[in-house]
Amino acid sequence: MTSQEPKRLLGNRYQLEEMIGKGAMGQVYKAKDMLLGGVIVAVKFLSQALLDKKMRDRFVREATICAWLGEKSNHIVRVKDYGVDENDISFYVMEYLEGDNLSEVLRRESLPLLRFLNISRQICLGLQCAHKGILYEGQETQIIHRDIKPSNILVIPDSSFGELVKVLDFGIAKLIQADSAQTQSFMGTLAYCSPEQMEGKELDPRSDIYSLGVMMFEMLTGEMPILAENRSFGGWYKAHHSTPPRSFASVNPNLKLPKALENLVMSCMAKSPTSRPQSIEEVLEALEPLDERLGRGRVLGQRIGVALSRLPITNDKPEKPLATADEICRQTSWPSNKPISSIVFPHIIRTSREELASLWVMLSQEDIQKHQVSTRYNQFLFVMSPHPMVLWITCLHNREHKTRWLTCYLDLKTTQGQKMVRLLGEAGCYRILFFALSKPERCAHVMTSTIAPAQRQLLTEWANSSQTSVSANQPQLSKKILQQELEKLKPKIVTKLQAINTGGSNFPGMSN
């Protein structure tokens, strides 16, 4: 069998849809898990060329490692199942993740500093989990990735993280066991390999740190720090052993970076492992103060604004009116822990008088201007099983028939999700805060969207009923179900909005 036929039912459970990837280890298919109502998964098959016992054992080990690592860290892809098909070909089933791999992101642009720090930190957290190791066959076993590169990093839009980052393909990870006699075969991607990896030496976490340094340079500049005379193994061997990395200034003289960050990236690319950071923890410790320093001014401004709004007036001058809710919203700035990126997330704004439900949105300045005069529509979808989850839908539609969908999930098994849903039901409205990608330091525009009475009542009922419900602990499946329902609703909502903007009648959930 040379390939897996699409639409084939694997193990009486997984309906293969289409091939989405192919590599040295095998093929990856998009599939539906029919046992879970058609939820989308990814199925990886072992290449037919690797069907000897040694490679089959390695594939099973890969699946086992990924399963354990995915459970330990939210920044490593999760494995759900594995087995052997009717043709005796090994496979395993992973979560299906919709997003861009980092190489696709970097093809569009180098990363702004705050986004770089957010993505780098999450990559390091995934590697930290692997490097700490797992209990494998009764032994504490350290795991080295061996192929850190942008195409093995997935960046996923996420309501909680802004962007959720996952490290992929531990398939060529090597178990570091003191008493084992592993082969020294070369695996990896030449442009990112450490000098010791190219020599076929036994590796430790410092090899991954070298690859991480190469990738971080590329993330910040859009270019590679080390160039080979040619693309052969020999060309890259010479480059990694004797060619010093290019400086940031030589690649982009206009790039202004903290000196501490430049030093960190360069130290990660040191030729000798002893000259690099000795662990991922050291890299995280170096990144943390940079993140704090860059965000400190913004956070301080927010705190001062909140403190000033709470101060009583103690002089004899005429008392100034308290700031309105919209004025308070306009004084906010984009959180330092969120990437400067086109994302949407919910937030409760606390003032001296009340709590305000709000939806924070980052768009280009041009898009914000287009939607300043638009019709707002909102709707809330709910699913109780397998996990109580609300999909908060906001749609902006202008007279040019341009539609912008703003959506986020509210998990009703979390305190924050419960509080937001109840606040929306009680207040009957929420603010939409727009921030420009080019000027995130100040809110650019505020809108208010009202919630229909029937929806307000449902929000309260959902919050109450979910408190006593039993969750199957599958929030991602609930999100998939809600997203599918939204896709069915979208054409109907757009048709109604078009009717409104061409003189049609009003309908629930709409605001001007």
pLDDT over 60 at 126, yes or no = yes
pLDDT over 60 at 505, yes or no = no
pLDDT value of position 301: 46
Report the residue count for the chain.
512
pLDDT value of position 429: 92
* Residue 506 confidence class, pLDDT cut points 50, 70, 90: very low
* Residue 25 confidence class, pLDDT cut points 50, 70, 90: low
pLDDT value of position 315: 46
Report CA-CA distances (Å) from 74 to 69, 124, 281. 9, 12, 17
Binding residues for ATP: 44
C-beta neighbour count of 355 within 10 angstroms: 14
> 100-176+189-290, superfamily in CATH?
Transferase(Phosphotransferase) domain 1 (1.10.510.10)
Mean pLDDT of all residues belonging to the chain: 82
Report CA-CA distances (Å) from 84 to 51, 63, 69, 170, 286. 12, 12, 21, 20, 44
CATH fold, domain 9-95, is Phosphorylase Kinase; domain 1 (3.30.200)
pLDDT value of position 310: 53
* Residue 244 confidence class, pLDDT cut points 50, 70, 90: very high
For the segment 321-339, the average pLDDT, to the nearest whole number, is 81
Backbone phi and psi for residue 270, each to the nearest 5 degrees, phi listed first: -60, 140
pLDDT value of position 261: 95
pLDDT value of position 499: 72
Whether the Cβ atoms of residue 148 and residue 130 lie closer than 8 Å to each other = no
pLDDT value of position 331: 86
Report CA-CA distances (Å) from 131 to 208, 242, 264. 9, 28, 19
Q: Is 147 a catalytic residue?
A: yes
Query: What does the pLDDT look like over 166-208, one tens digit per residue?
Result: 998 775 544 343 334 443 445 568 999 999 999 888 888 999 9
pLDDT value of position 379: 93
pLDDT value of position 510: 55
pLDDT value of position 282: 95
pLDDT value of position 51: 59
> Of these residues, 52, 57, 81, 147, which one is catalytic?
147
What's the 3-state SS for 210-230? HHHHHHHHHHHHCCCCCCCCC
Query: What does the pLDDT look like over 264-279, one tens digit per residue?
Result: 999 999 999 999 999 9
Cα–Cα distance, 319 to 378 (Å, whole number): 38
Facing residues of 153 across strands?
A: 167
pLDDT value of position 178: 33
Cα–Cα distance, 2 to 68 (Å, whole number): 30
Identify the residue whose tokens are 């740190």.
Answer: 209
27-36, 225-234, 262-271, 395-404: range with lowest mean pLDDT: 395-404
User: DSSP 3-state assignment of 68?
Assistant: helix
Report CA-CA distances (Å) from 276 to 87, 105, 429. 47, 27, 53
Q: Which two tokens stand for residue 279?
A: 């662990």
Query: What does the pLDDT look like over 455-502, one tens digit per residue?
Result: 999 999 999 888 877 777 788 999 999 999 999 999 888 887 777 655
Give, for 481, the enclosing helix (H) or strand (E): helix 475-501
Side chain identity at 92, as an amino acid letter? Y
For the segment 73-96, the average pLDDT, to the nearest whole number, is 83
User: DSSP 3-state assignment of 390?
Assistant: strand
Binding residues: 44
For the chain, domain boundaries? 9-95, 100-176+189-290, 325-511
pLDDT over 80 at 137, yes or no = no
Whether the Cβ atoms of residue 459 and residue 380 lie closer than 8 Å to each other = yes
- Give 266 or 97, the one with higher predicted confidence: 266
Do 9-95 and 100-176+189-290 come out as alike in CATH topology?
A: no
What's the 3-state SS for 163-174? EEEEECCHHHCE
For the segment 394-409, the average pLDDT, to the nearest whole number, is 85
* Residue 407 confidence class, pLDDT cut points 50, 70, 90: very high
34-48, 123-137, 284-298, 397-411: range with lowest mean pLDDT: 284-298
55-59, 89-93, 123-127, 317-321: range with lowest mean pLDDT: 317-321
50-64, 130-144, 397-411: range with lowest mean pLDDT: 50-64
Work out the angle at residue 494's Cα, subtended by the Cα atoms of residues 493 and 495, and round it to the nearest 5 degrees. Answer: 90
Percent of the chain with pLDDT over 90: 37
pLDDT over 80 at 345, yes or no = yes
